[in-house]
Amino acid sequence: MARKRQARQVRFAGGRWLAAAVLSAAVGGGAPAQSIPAEQPSEHAYWVSPGAAGAAPALSRYHDDWGQIEVLNAKGLTLSQGNAFFEPIGTNGRACVSCHQPASGMGLSVQAIQRRWRETGGKDPLFAVIDGANCPDLPPAQPASHSLLLKRGLFRVSLPWPRHAGPDGSAVEPEFTIEVVRDPTGCNTSPVYGLHSADPHISVYRRPRVVGNLQYVAPDAGGTTFGGAGPFNAKRMGMVMDKDPRTGAYSAMNIMSDAREPSLVTQAIDAAHDHLQRATPPSEMQLQQIVQFESQIFVAQGIDKVGDDFATSDTPPALGARNLQTSATGVLGDNFGKPVFKTFDVWVNRSQNEAQARAEFKASVMRGYAVFFTRPFWIRDVAHINTVGLGNPAKRTCVTCHNLQMVGTDASAGWVDLGTTNEPWAGEPLYSPDSDATPDLPLFKVVCNADARPHPFLGRTIYTHDPGRALISGKCYDVGSIVMGQLRGLAARAPYFSNGSAEDLRALVDFYDRRFNMSLTQREKDDLVNFMSVL
Amino acid sequence: MPTGKPRALPAVMLLAGAVLTWAHAEEPLAVAARPPPEHRNFLACPILQDTATVPCWMADYAGERYFLGVQTDSGGWSPPYLGHKALIEGIVVSGPRICGGIPLTSNYPQSPLPSGSADGRPLPNPPVTSPMRELDAACTTMLPADLQYHIAARRGPGPNTAASALRPPPAPASLQTPTPPFRARTFTLTYDFDSEVAGKTIGEALKAVQYARAIDAHRITLIGYRGATLLSDGALAQEIPNIAALRVRELAAAVTKLGIPSGTTLAERSIDEPEPADGVTDPQRRRAEIIVTP
């Protein structure tokens, strides 16, 4: 009875983060998500403010450009008040939810950022200058000061350089020097915040990652990782993986863009300090609340652009958040027997009786999956892919790298230099007196020491917008390597890549087509876009 | 890959005064010693020859084209890189050509599973193949698919099949708890030429640390060695001068992170004098040792 009452209230509440008034009788039971019907999303639910009264419902949906994204809260209703994920536990008014918004698929779309700017005049804590401005010394609440956030959804990540110790205290010997070639934000040459300041730091600019489906990537979220992780990095066997300091278990090192934190707990501590400007680590109870909530969230597209609802029983078994909740974790999907996004066969039969538009869309999605899974191209000059025993180039497919079943990350520690941040592949515009377009991001010249193992495909002098993993490891061969992100809930959180350089799904496909000379046809590009839109 | 102590080599193979570094390796120097006639040790740009399935990797030496192996799966033989020369250490296989090249093999197993077959014949165990550290812009040759070459690879260009998939290497089995009196044990790791990245033998580091814990070792000594290879043209290719130190540095980081006992002293030593070379057993002398002392 209690479950019925709870489900009804969630449905009536419109499937969004609920106002506290409707909750008094609903909380406490923790309704299983399966009992919650799909709801109509609200146009006004795009933003959850830190500290606001309310709760995360068991299932919520929000419009995106390709239908509706859904967020499944597997343990049922979660009151936001008193929960550290939602509370402004730092000093700048932000909470975890500030950058991991349900309507953005637990990431943060640039559309949501821009709308929040318009509605608050840039006063929302999201725009705190510590990292929501291009540099903290810029005047706040002026669009030019926050241009990278407003244009590309990028937050400033300030890291000490040179680095002499890893996150676990192990010694780091930097193998390269960094010179600032251009500094459009002014932060890397700032006498206060820059590389030559009294406390030298480098500023790079990155997108928030998805807080959802974490059982697939973070051991302390409760799932298993492929091969049990083990002590050695499968992609560089001499390297011992970082450990979760609390459990002593080896991490899959797939949580952050630069893998600098091995667990959700240490990530929460890091984020509370860097993004929430909290002086001391969160309390044990707060950390437990954060990790528990993060571990029970599943995110996926819930309804596609032609109206298919992925909560129905005849949905392909990889689609929708419920399937993410119930599928096995740690399965290598680069395999015909265990395909990365399982099978879409249920659509083959169903689409025969459907309206033409629906049938055509489904056919396109299935073709896109086939391109993703089986169409080979030359994977070339990718550090930590071509160097792991495949040779350079390797004749393979997308799933070679995006191989973890259900989420499409790399099952191994996933940092690779795809070229998104390193020249010559990074997509920053060129200067020209005839064009108004100018590069947004800083450019660094990295020069590796003579005895360092060089970057395998760029050598000892590398131009990069973000050295990525190398800022943590100090290794020349890691320059530009970024941990790949998961492929779920993409439609709700453009732009893509760690530096927001792909403004939409088509731009993402175009990058790969250009980077690997894939010679994709127009139809193949459309199919890939449609395929990714339903994930 | 087999490991072991370096054996004493005939004095003629020590090549005193006739050594070449890689900077000079392309200027063959006539010396008395050469590898056995069936051996092919040479430095060359790799060549990619595509087929209807996976690409073949080839290399040219002394006017002849050699077949090295086919693209397979991580965990197996590591094909070379375009953009880099590679050192090939192989032995000629008699029989038909593969992908147009004379096949080479090695006495050192390169993969836990066979790579597949060519024209119905099993592919040989590939030669030892070491990509050079530095870029070489001349190494760019990709030949389009030639459909006359019939390669049935264990792993095709698409996804794996369940039956053929390589699994991640299992964690090395825990050592049996040793009983007193304890003895010093040596664990040996081998490397690609000019590389400090321990590949298939990295499990020895874990074994060494486990042993050190089990006997509450007094000392762990890391010794890095610098190898050399006697090339088929009689020249001697030596690894970069500091490779022994780089191997020790990498290994020290690994064993420290694996967790050595609190009372154990970690000692490091690198031997920069190149190991002797015979053109046959050179890969096993590109090594580092972990000596665990009670």
- Residue by residue, DSSP assigns A8-65 as HHHHHTTTSSBPGGGTTTTTTS---GGGPPP-PPPTT-S---TT-S-EE-SEEEEEET
Mean pLDDT of chain B: 87
Question: What is the pLDDT at residue A124?
Answer: 97
Under 8 Å CB-to-CB from A325, ≥6 apart: which residues? Answer: A33, A72, A74, A298
Residue B52 contacts A where some CB pair is shorter than 8 Å: no
| Four-point Cα dihedral B96, B100, B103, B109, nearest 10 | -120
The pLDDT mean for chain A works out to 90
Measuring CA to CA, how many Å separate A415 from each of A336, A469, A498? 25, 7, 12
Question: Is the pLDDT reported for residue A386 higher than 50?
Answer: yes
User: Could you tell me which residues come within 8 angstroms of residue A521 by beta carbon, excluding any fewer than 6 positions away?
Assistant: none
Chain A residues within an 8 Å CB radius of B1: none
Could B71 and A391 be called an inter-chain contact, meaning their C-beta atoms sit closer than 8 Å?
A: yes
Q: Give the tokens for residue B290.
A: 């972990």
pLDDT at residue number A7: 31
Average pLDDT (A85-99) is 98
Q: Which residue has better confidence, A106 or A437?
A: A106
Residue A416 bridge partners (DSSP) = A482
pLDDT given at position B164:
53
Contact A156, A135 (CB under 8 A): yes
- pLDDT value at position B21? 46
Tell me the C-alpha to C-alpha distance, in Å, between residue A196 and each of A160, A162, A178, A192, B66.
11, 10, 11, 8, 53
Residue with more model confidence, B224 or B73? B224
Report the pLDDT averaged over residues A122-134. Answer: 97
Taking the CA of residue A473 and the nearest CA in chain B, the distance in Å comes to 12
- Residue A241 CA to residue A86 CA, distance in Å, equals 31
Which burial class, exposed, middle or buried, applies to A140 when counting CB atoms under 10 A from its CB (0-12, 13-18, 19+)?
middle
B135 chain-A contacts, CB cut-off 8 A: 454, 457, 459
What chain B residue is nearest to A473 in terms of C-alpha separation? Answer: B253
* Predicted local distance difference test score (pLDDT) of residue A302: 97
Contact criterion met (CB < 8 Å) for B74 and A393: no
Rounded Cα–Cα distance for residues A209 and A489 (Å) = 11
Cα(A112)–Cα(A121) distance, rounded to whole angstroms?
14
Q: Sorting pLDDT into bands at 50, 70 and 90, what band is B111? A: confident
A391 with B57: Cβ contact below 8 A: yes
d(CA A468, CA A472): 8
Question: How much is the pLDDT for A250?
Answer: 87
> Of A33, A68, A7, which is closest to residue A319 (Cα–Cα)?
A68
- The residues in A 314-333 lying below 8 A from B, measured between CB atoms, are 332-333
Q: Is the pLDDT of residue A352 over 80?
A: no
Query: In chain B, what's the furthest Cα-to-Cα distance?
Result: 63
Higher local confidence (pLDDT), A173 or B74: A173
What's the confidence (pLDDT) of residue A27?
A: 33
Residue to substitute from A372, A384, A453, A462, interface B, most B β-carbons within 10 A: A453
Residue at A373: amino acid letter? F
Ranking A32-46, A241-255, B189-203 by mean pLDDT, the lowest is A32-46
- Tell the residue number behind the tokens 């970069």, with chain if given: B240
Q: Write out residues 363-422 of A within 8 Å (CB-CB) of B.
A: 373-374, 376, 378, 380-381, 386-397, 399
Residues B248 and B200: beta-carbon distance below 8 Å = no
Residue A424 forms contact with B (CB below 8 Å): no
Residue A18 pLDDT: 58
Measure B138 CA to nearest chain A CA, in Å: 13
If you average pLDDT over residues B162-177, what whole number do you get? 57
pLDDT band at A160 (very low <50, low <70, confident <90, very high): very high
- Which residues from A are below 8 Å from B198, CB to CB? 237-238
Residue type, B246: L
Q: What six digits make up the tokens of B233?
A: 């043209």
Residue B10 has pLDDT above 90, yes or no: no
Residues of B in contact with A235 (CB under 8 A): 74
Residue A40's pLDDT band, with cuts at 50, 70 and 90, is low
For residues B178 and B279, the model is more confident at B279
* pLDDT exceeds cutoff 90 at B47: yes
Indicate if the pLDDT at residue B216 is higher than 60: yes
Q: DSSP for A178-204?
A: EEEEE-TTS-SS-TTTSTTSSS-EEEE
Partnered with residue A176 across adjacent β-strands are A448
For residue B66, the SS3 value is strand
Average pLDDT over residues B194-222: 94
What pLDDT sits at residue A25?
Answer: 31
| Overall average pLDDT of the A512-532 stretch | 98
SS3 B86: strand
Of A281, A258, A329, A257, the residue nearest A89 (C-alpha): A281
Q: How confident is the model at residue A106 (pLDDT cuts 50, 70, 90)?
A: very high
Residue of B53, B68, B133 best to disrupt the A interface, most CBs of A under 10 A: B133
Report the pLDDT value the prediction gives residue A2, as an integer from 0 to 100: 38
CA distance A413 to A244: 14
Which is it for the CA torsion B27, B32, B34, B37, positive or negative?
A: positive
Q: What is the DSSP letter of A254?
A: -
DSSP B120-155: TEEPPPPPEEEE-SS--TT---EEPP-TT--EEESS
Alpha carbons A317 and B205: distance in angstroms, whole number: 42
Of B55, B142, B250, the CB nearest to A238: B250
Query: Which residue(s) pair with A445 in the sheet?
Result: A179, A463
Percentage of the residues of chain B whose pLDDT score is greater than 90: 75
Q: Which amino acid is at A234?
A: A
Q: How far is CA A295 from CA A73, A219, A325, in A?
A: 9, 10, 10
Partners of residue A402 on adjacent β-strands: none
Which tokens hold the place of A409?
Answer: 């990350």
Within 111-140 of B, beta carbons closer than 8 Å to A belong to: 131, 133-135
Q: Phi then psi for B60, rounded to 5 degrees?
A: -100, 140
Is A517's pLDDT higher than 70? Answer: yes
Cβ separation B133–A337 shorter than 8 A? no
More confident residue, B262 or A351: B262
Strands of A113-261 (E only): list them.
155-160, 176-182, 201-206, 232-233, 236-240
Distances (CA, A) of A226 to A180, A230, A232, B163: 39, 9, 13, 18
Section A382-398 average pLDDT: 96
Question: Could you give the ipTM of this predicted complex?
Answer: 0.90
**DSSP of A360-426:** HHHHHHHHHHHHHHH--EEE-S-BTTIIIII-BSEEE-GGGTS-BTTT-S-SS--EEB-SSSBTTTS
Are β-strands B236-238 and B265-274 bridged in parallel, bridged antiparallel, or unpaired? unpaired
- Using alpha carbons, select from A112, A119, A117, A118 the residue that is nearest to residue A133: A117
Of A64 and B179, the one with more pLDDT? A64
3-state SS, residue B14: helix
The answer, yes or no, to whether the previous bond of B144 is cis (omega within 30 of 0) is no
Average pLDDT value for residue range A410-438: 92
* Residue scoring higher pLDDT (A228 or A81): A81
User: What pLDDT is stored for residue B22 in this prediction?
Assistant: 44
Q: What is the DSSP letter of A335?
A: B
Closest CA to A426 of A415, A405, A408, A440: A440
pLDDT category, A14, cuts 50, 70, 90?
very low
> What's at B241, amino acid-wise?
P
Helices (H), A478-520: 505-515
Task: Give yes or no for residue B32 having a pLDDT over 90.
Answer: no
Quote the DSSP letter at residue A107.
B
DSSP letter at A144?
A: G
A486 close to A216: Cβ distance less than 8 angstroms: yes
